[in-house]
Amino acid sequence: MRILKMQSKFLDVFLESLNKFGNLYGPTYKNKVLSYDRLANISDLVLTDEHPMIPIKKLFHPMKFTMLHFNEMGFTPDYSTIEKRVILGVHPCEIHSLLILDSVFMREPMDPYYAQLRQNSAIIGFSCLPTENSLCFSTDTDIVEEGFDLFFVNLGEYFLVWVGSSLGHDMIYEREEFFDKNVTHDDIQEYVEWRQKKNKMFKKSFEFDSMPDIMELSYESEIWEEFAKICLSCGQCSMVCPTCNCYSVTDVFDVTNEQIGRRDRNWDSCMYVDYSLVAGGHNFRASRGNRLKLWYGHKLKTFGKDYGRPGCVGCGRCVDSCPVDINVLTISEALTTKEVPEK
């Protein structure tokens, strides 16, 4: 992997030049909320340590879209959401989350909508420093070695730039004059010191590596029912989690001709009471305790077994967003101490 150096003063001009490779997307403020969205101007890009409220999965696994149109003769897939894109300002944990979603959606049978969005999107990653609820040091997702085309580490007056793909090389060649091939020993030392400083800034942690065994041993724990008493089943944890990928499919018929319609796909959540409802009125997870157990089982145990990567990337969004303080920190602490936080 090639590593180059670029002075910070060239950043905006370089990033703007990437519109040759596709429409520019990145974190920007929309109604005063940080969100991944299309950038009208490079000045709208917000490079910050804070996470957008909704993770990058919204750009690859959209909240709602039409999959196909149908009539009595058959169906036609709708790929109108597919476009060439360059997504800027992606943090390491978000890149890790895309690698997990790849394992889900790119395995056979491949999801053609996700696959085409992924194949038509370049990822330009940027380093970040821990915020109040960052857990990525615990989950080993604070550093990324794959899954990006370019990755920028901010060292103040300059960036170290990792080139992660042939497309990344093509992007560099567009403004080759901005990049210095000579990365010195002093640059390396500054990068090492930055890593050390970053590691000391984490305020919260949990025993992530031991959680698969703890989850297995705690399957019948009374802790799940204790948390179920305060859980609202609102699904907020699923919406903000970068690796949650559940969806429902609905056929919408034309009101004038029931043989014509479209098939829509929408985000769903296993935390909703009717998610596991099947024909005959049977519900495999009618209790909140069982739904909590399933959700945290995915995050802390079974994803690693089934897909080779754990389902939690340590972004801390569940810690930020749950209105009753149920998250990977409180769950892991309760399973090891048998104490549920008081409300």
**What confidence tens digit (pLDDT) does each residue in 217-250 have?**
998 999 999 999 999 999 999 999 999 999 999 9
Are 170 and 195 within one domain? Answer: yes
Are 20 and 161 within one domain? Answer: yes
Which residues partner with 2 through β-bridges? 163
- Print the domain residue range for 235: 211-337
Q: Is residue 303 part of a domain?
A: yes
For residues 134-138, give the mean pLDDT. 96
Q: Per-residue pLDDT tens for 27-80?
A: 999 999 999 999 999 999 999 999 999 999 999 999 999 999 999 999 999 999
Q: pTM here?
A: 0.94
Q: Is residue 11 part of a domain?
A: yes
Which residues partner with 28 through β-bridges? 35
Look at residues 137, 171, 200 and tell me which one is the last residue of a structural domain. 200
Q: Is residue 343 part of a domain?
A: no
Are 145 and 237 within one domain? Answer: no
The answer to whether 126 and 89 have CB atoms below 8 angstroms apart is yes
| Predicted pLDDT at 341 | 61
Are 141 and 15 within one domain? Answer: yes
β-strands 85-90, 23-30: how paired?
A: parallel
Are 149 and 265 within one domain? Answer: no
Are 191 and 218 within one domain? Answer: no
Are 256 and 163 within one domain? Answer: no
Q: Which residues lie below 8 Å from residue 9, measured CB to CB, with a gap of 6+?
A: none
How distant, in Å, are the alpha carbons of 78, 154, 227, 300 from that of 306?
Answer: 30, 35, 26, 12
Are 152 and 217 within one domain? Answer: no
The number of helix segments (H) and strand segments (E) in the chain equals: 12, 12
Look at residues 145, 165, 200 and tell me which one is the last residue of a structural domain. 200
- Provide the domain count of the chain: 2
Are 191 and 215 within one domain? Answer: no
